[in-house]
Amino acid sequence: MLAIYKRELRSFFHGMMGYVLTAFLLAASGIYFLALNLGYGLTDFGYYTLYRTIFMLLLYFPVLAMRSLAEERRARTDQLLLTSPVSVWGIVVGKYLALCTVFALPCLADGVMIVVLWLLGGTASACGANFAALLCYFLLGCAAIAVCEFCSGLTENQIIAAVMGFSALLLAYMMPSLRSMFNAGSAVALVVFTALSAGASLAVGLRTRSFTLGCFCFAALCAGLSALFLLRSAWLTEAFSAVLSALCLFAPFEEFVNNSFSIPTLVYYLTVTVLFLFFTAQGIEKRRWN
Amino acid sequence: MIEVSHLTKKYGSRLAVDDISFTVEDGVIYGLLGPNGAGKSTIMNILTGYLAATEGQVTVAGHPLPEEADAAKACVGYLPEQPPLYPEMTVAEYLDFAAELKGVKKADRSAQVQSAARRTGLEDVLPRLIRSLSKGYRQRVGVAQALLGSPQLIILDEPTVGLDPAQVIELRRLIRELGRTHTVILSSHILSEVKAVCDKALILSQGHLAAVVDLAAEERDLEELFLELTALEETSDKKED
């Protein structure tokens, strides 16, 4: 795992990629820091710089993560990795940590900016809030990297991986506004959940290679949903809106920088990370069996 | 060293390897022989743990796949059909990375890299970028990578493709030399190569194992035998159609 981490990290700084990406993000936060925090004397770095430049991340992460697995597959170097005594988890996590390290560089520079604000006369509590916002920003980034790495594992074409990652992040970014369009009744929720359970049953069927088990799984899920629909239809709509809000990757960060430090937000980002790393490893594993 | 029983591999609905069983003995050089699409690369990919078998059991150095995959992989050095190289690295960096990946301890790493480079004639190009190497040198870097971690078993998929005649002779000499201390499996569709290098040949045809030939004991010409075995399969298939 360590070998993979080191190689991945070095490959970013062998070429231009690592420098360009870091400069790209630093330029954005630098401009906002200069104009808002220094220019207007606002001490809230979390809101005025990190939150305002969050749209840059929509481009940054897909480009950062597009190579990681897709390029290995295209160049057939995945054969070296997968035939070495390293587990699939080791490969996925090693690459993931390297990507997080590259993202940590602009975050470190952001940390310096926060210290500068403090030295210029910011209060200690503002400084603490800024650092908490930076932590949340970093964890948000780690979750987004996991999503983009998953996209990279789906294809051998870097461009397609980047476009998929961008689409996924854009959807998550716009989800808070899209949600109002789906202000659905329980019938729509039922249809969506039925489709989701069909997908889950299909996955179960393929994974266990048993058609019967997949059918049973689907039947059981449908029965459960129908019962809920008839008896407690309000639960379905609530669950539906909960699912939609879980897809709003950027919304918890917005609440976080509006001065509400919350542990659940941090846990949410860590959960998304673990979930998508798991999907990535499963995706690689699945390809070997087909 | 390797035991394969009733191995079957399907890609979707296409049958690539059909119910093959064989045993590979220690310290012997095996040649995997067959026409294009006979399943040579698929078998090698399964033996090295890159692909999983659809059915059947594979045991490498006493470790069943895929249950003890990591232990089995540690015993195998593998050169795939296309050498798995990172063009932006230098040869030395790449070999060092491969050694670390195979779990070679830091203290032994540079000695192992040096010895693998010496055996494959790479000493002069160690500081060069892999991007700038010729096809023959890239192939040698791939072979050197397979030697790292002192594996008991070395699997080479078409190792002499794209090399010039002098390099071919050199590589064959290296394989014979490796055969003294390791078990080697190489695939090829060049009959003379198998005859020159291997002790035994496994002849494949359309996913079936057509014959296991002991090249020292076999009196008939390998070429004749190969054509006979692979043609037989084709005619019997045509009859079935």
In order of start, what are the domains of chain B with their CATH numbers?
2-75+153-240 (3.40.50.300), 84-150 (no CATH)
Distance of CA A50 to the CA centre of its chain: 17
**CB < 8 Å to B78, chain A:** 79, 83
Question: How do residues A1-11 score in pLDDT, each as one tens digit?
Answer: 899 999 999 99
**CB < 8 Å to B11, chain A:** 290
* Partner-chain residue, chosen from A6, A78, A85, that has the shortest CB–CB distance to B103: A85
Assigned token pair, A4: 């993979």
Identify the H or E element spanning A206.
Answer: helix A186-208
**Spatial distance between the Cα atoms of A237 and A244, rounded to a whole number of angstroms:** 11
**CB < 8 Å to B101, chain A:** 3-4, 80-81, 84, 86
Q: Would you say how long chain B is, in residues?
A: 241
Assigned token pair, B71: 């232990």
DSSP class per residue in chain B: -EEEEEEEEEETTEEEEEEEEEEE-TT-EEEEE-STTSSHHHHHHHHTTSS--SEEEEEETTEEETTTHHHHHHTEEEE-SS----TTSBHHHHHHHHHHHTT--HHHHHHHHHHHHHHTT-GGGTTSBGGGS-HHHHHHHHHHHHHTT--SEEEEESTTTT--HHHHHHHHHHHHHHHHHSEEEEEES-HHHHHHH-SEEEEEETTEEEEEEETTT--S-HHHHHHHHHHHHHHHHHHH-
Question: How do residues B113-150 score in pLDDT, each as one tens digit?
Answer: 999 999 888 899 999 999 999 888 899 999 999 999 88
User: Which comes out higher in pLDDT, residue A225 or A57?
Assistant: A57
User: Would you state the pLDDT for residue A278?
Assistant: 95
Task: Kindly state the average pLDDT of the residues A93-119.
Answer: 94
DSSP class per residue in A29-68: HHHHIIIIIITS----HIIIIIITTHHHHHHHHHHHHHHH
Question: How do residues B10-28 score in pLDDT, each as one tens digit?
Answer: 887 888 888 899 998 888 8
Q: Do B97 and A288 touch (CB under 8 A)?
A: no
**CB < 8 Å to A7, chain B:** 86, 89, 97
Quick one: closest CA in B to A1, which residue? B101
Q: Do B84 and A4 touch (CB under 8 A)?
A: no
**Spatial distance between the Cα atoms of A178 and B221, rounded to a whole number of angstroms:** 74
Task: Kindly state the average pLDDT of the residues A17-22.
Answer: 93
* Partner-chain residue, chosen from B12, B85, B102, that has the shortest CB–CB distance to A77: B85
What phi and psi, each to the nearest 5 degrees, are found at residue A192? -65, -45
User: Would you state the pLDDT for residue A168?
Assistant: 94
User: Would you state the pLDDT for residue A272?
Assistant: 94
The proportion of chain A whose per-residue pLDDT surpasses 90, expressed as a percent, equals 56
User: Would you state the pLDDT for residue A31?
Assistant: 94
| pLDDT at residue A59 tops 70 | yes
| pLDDT at residue A271 tops 90 | yes
**CB < 8 Å to A73, chain B:** none
- Measure the CA angle with vertex B132, ends A77 and A83; round to 5°: 15
User: Would you state the pLDDT for residue A119?
Assistant: 92
Interface check A16 vs B, CB under 8 A? no
The proportion of chain A whose per-residue pLDDT surpasses 70, expressed as a percent, equals 98
- Mean pLDDT over the full length of chain A: 89
Task: Kindly state the average pLDDT of the residues A229-252.
Answer: 80
Task: Kindly state the average pLDDT of the residues A197-224.
Answer: 85
User: Would you state the pLDDT for residue A184?
Assistant: 61
User: Would you state the pLDDT for residue A146?
Assistant: 96
**Test mutation, B101, B105, B156, chain A, max A CBs within 10 A:** B101
Q: Do A3 and B101 touch (CB under 8 A)?
A: yes
Is residue A87 classed as helix, strand or coil in its secondary structure?
coil
User: Would you state the pLDDT for residue A183?
Assistant: 65
A128 and A36 Cβ atoms separated by less than 8 Å? no
Confidence of residue B237 (pLDDT cuts 50, 70, 90): low
| pLDDT at residue A117 tops 50 | yes
User: Would you state the pLDDT for residue B240?
Assistant: 47
ipTM of the prediction: 0.88
